[in-house]
Structure 1
Amino acid sequence: MSIEIIIGLPHLCEGPLLFRARALQQPVLISANCLSIWSTRRGWREWTGWKLHHLANAHSLHSLVLDSAGYAAMSVYGGFPWTVDSYVALAAAFPFRWWASLDYCVEQGVARDREEVIDRLSRTIRANRDCRQRAADLGITDTLMPVIQGRLPEDYERCIDALWGMMKPGAIIGVGSMCRREIDGPEGLIAVIDHLDRVLPKGVRLHAFGVKGPAIPYLLPFAHRIASLDSQAYAVSARREAHQRRISKSDQLVADHMEHWLHTQRARLSESARQLPVRAPAMPDPSPSDPWEAAIAQARSEIRALIESGDLDHDELTAPWIEQWAADIYRDRRAA
């Protein structure tokens, strides 16, 4: 089996970049964010819908896939500006090859500590289930790609266990929070892929979001597990050249870098596979011994379970609420 390279495009506007993508006849990935409509009519910037007319430009592409823009949503907007219903409606508006579930990324710049990482795993689990339910209503479950999240390799297993019904042979599963990882190390890209290869059912394959080209030779031993990867890294080299030459970073320049980048990735797929030593998994944090910290931990666990079950919404996990919930637990323990 071979790993497919998917080109990330920043937009679907007619011009040199889209023209080149058509000529290359390579699968293309776009972010939902690039189709967003924003308005300042009420005095602040707010999301108001989708530029669905841009999708007409994609019909002559090899194929088109849709990402939920999870990292941009969290790092730029502090959360998804659009609802599950509006996002799934976008997914139903075009014959996408596949479309990724909403997910809550856990990169260092977004999830500040271990507790927030685990909170966001629960939100990701619920978002996957909600997307699947809405997809069933619209008849597009066949093209839905579940997305799993994690910081440690074992974190992804929490998502897999909760979404086990979606882990069927032939399924493609998106692996989030990958593009800013080191290749090596106990939390590195290869450690994550190696762990997933061990725990996923046979026949389930992966799409690795945002993986940079130098990692490809190290991914080749897992070609039986990795179906595809995407990147928009060519934009960085285009920006660097524009800065060095003191010229505009035009779409024509970016298109040239995109084509060169694609040829480079294809060449890397032909290299000899490289392997890294498998690191021992990180040990889980011990349970807190302090009664108040233990109450906080229990409160978080109970709220996460309610989010995953659908009894609470994705974003109903706030510090004041956790503390109030923990206070009730603390008092009950003291009274017992």
Structure 2
Amino acid sequence: MAIEIILGLPHLANGPILQRAVALQAPVLISANCLSRWRKADGWREWSGWRTGTLANARPLASVDLDSAGYTMMVRYGGLPWSIADYMALAASWPFRRFSSVDYCCEEGVAHDREEVLDRIARTTATNRECFARAGDLGIRDRLMPVLQGRVPDDYDRSLDAIGGLILPGAIVGIGSMCRRPVHGREGLIAVVERLTRILPIGVKAHLFGVKGDALPYLTPFARWIASIDSQGWGVGVRQHALKHRIAKTDALAADFMERWYRTQCARTLEPPRHMSEAASPSPPPPTADPWECAIAQARGEIRALIESDDLDHDEITTGWIEQWAAEIYADAA
């Protein structure tokens, strides 16, 4: 079966973009942020709830998936402005085909070092668990898409091990931090996908968030493990075209670019597959011999364990605790 191409839509306003998506009968994905209501308070934008009225416009679409919003929100606001309870209420308010768990993306623009990547994987474990529990209470667990996070292939092993009990038979699992990832290399898209083929439970498939179309021929050999990809890459193309030609970026122009992009991606799924071996995993750095650095590493690990076990909230600010925590470990070892 071919990999499904899902169109990322910027909004659900009744206009050329939505009408073209309906005409194409393409499955679509929207971010929770496109349904957000904002207000200005003391000169700052403040989230004030959901605008669910535009969901009525989505009824003629082939299907609609909901994403919790990730990279852009993390960069712009440093985190999600809504709670998991808010997000799950939105997920339950309309018959989305599936909705992703809240997660903490691990792209370099957000997670600047290895420790931050591990911290965000731990927080993603906690958000998956809370979403799973709330989905059960709301009766929508069958539509929940758990999300794995990481930077290198081993990270996705770690993430899957932590939430394996939340993945229902035959489920689709979201694979995060894909959209800015190169196709090749030790941390590349194919290295991660090859690892997934070895670790995903039988019958479980992956949805790859934000994968660009030029990767599709390399993904074709793994189609039995990949249910779908999504992208709003067409939006970049129309923006560049409008700037180059000094014309307005209208929704009518965007709809034309979107259709061409979608048809091109669908055609790419039929191209001959290209094969590439997984790059060897990099050797882990040697353990530090410095007692203080060892204490810092141990403190981070203990804090992550508390987040994963729900003894600390997933959005708890822990940066200021690490040195104090490490100081106690250091003193005990002295």
For the aligned pair, the TM-score class normalised by the smaller chain equals over 0.9
For residues 198 and 286 of structure 2, the distance between their equivalents in structure 1, rounded to whole angstroms, comes to 25
Residue correspondence of structure 1 range 208-287 to structure 2 within 5 A? 208-287=208-287
Deviates more, 1:213-222 or 1:271-280: 271-280
Aligned match of 1:81: 81
3-state SS of 2:283 partner: coil
Aligned match of 1:68: 68
Structure 1 residues 131-181: Cα deviation after superposition (integer angstroms, max 9, x where no partner): 111111111100000001010011011110011113344110000000111
Aligned match of 1:164: 164
For residues 42 and 320 of structure 2, the distance between their equivalents in structure 1, rounded to whole angstroms, comes to 30
Q: How many residues align?
A: 334
Structure 1 residues 246-292: Cα deviation after superposition (integer angstroms, max 9, x where no partner): 11010000100111011101111110000112211122233321111
For residues 263 and 284 of structure 2, the distance between their equivalents in structure 1, rounded to whole angstroms, comes to 42
Asked if structure 2 preserves the Cα contact closer than 8 Å seen for 1:122 and 1:307, the reply is yes
For residues 203 and 288 of structure 1, the distance between their equivalents in structure 2, rounded to whole angstroms, comes to 41
What is the TM-score with the length of structure 2 in the denominator?
0.98
- Alignment RMSD: 1.0
Question: Which amino acid is 1:181 matched to?
Answer: R
Segments ≥4 residues shifted beyond 6 Å: none
Aligned match of 2:127: 127
For residues 43 and 246 of structure 1, the distance between their equivalents in structure 2, rounded to whole angstroms, comes to 32
Asked if structure 2 preserves the Cα contact closer than 8 Å seen for 1:168 and 1:203, the reply is no
Residue correspondence of structure 1 range 193-208 to structure 2 within 5 A? 193-208=193-208
3-state SS of 1:280 partner: coil
Runs (5+) with no aligned partner, structure 1 = none
Aligned match of 1:291: 291
Question: Which amino acid is 2:268 matched to?
Answer: R
Residue 317 of structure 1: how far off its partner (Å): 4.3
For residues 315 and 288 of structure 2, the distance between their equivalents in structure 1, rounded to whole angstroms, comes to 25
Aligned match of 1:56: 56
For residues 2 and 228 of structure 2, the distance between their equivalents in structure 1, rounded to whole angstroms, comes to 8
Asked if structure 2 preserves the Cα contact closer than 8 Å seen for 1:213 and 1:268, the reply is yes
3-state SS of 1:45 partner: strand
Asked if structure 1 preserves the Cα contact closer than 8 Å seen for 2:132 and 2:166, the reply is no
Residue 41 of structure 1: how far off its partner (Å): 3.8
Matched, 1:35 2:35: yes
For residues 315 and 293 of structure 1, the distance between their equivalents in structure 2, rounded to whole angstroms, comes to 25
Aligned match of 2:332: 332
Asked if structure 1 preserves the Cα contact closer than 8 Å seen for 2:129 and 2:166, the reply is no
For residues 238 and 73 of structure 1, the distance between their equivalents in structure 2, rounded to whole angstroms, comes to 22
Percentage of matched positions with identical amino acids: 61
For residues 34 and 317 of structure 1, the distance between their equivalents in structure 2, rounded to whole angstroms, comes to 27
For residues 315 and 29 of structure 1, the distance between their equivalents in structure 2, rounded to whole angstroms, comes to 25
Matched, 1:113 2:113: yes
3-state SS of 2:6 partner: strand
Runs (5+) with no aligned partner, structure 2 = none
Aligned match of 2:175: 175
Question: Which amino acid is 2:270 matched to?
Answer: S
Residue 235 of structure 1: how far off its partner (Å): 1.0
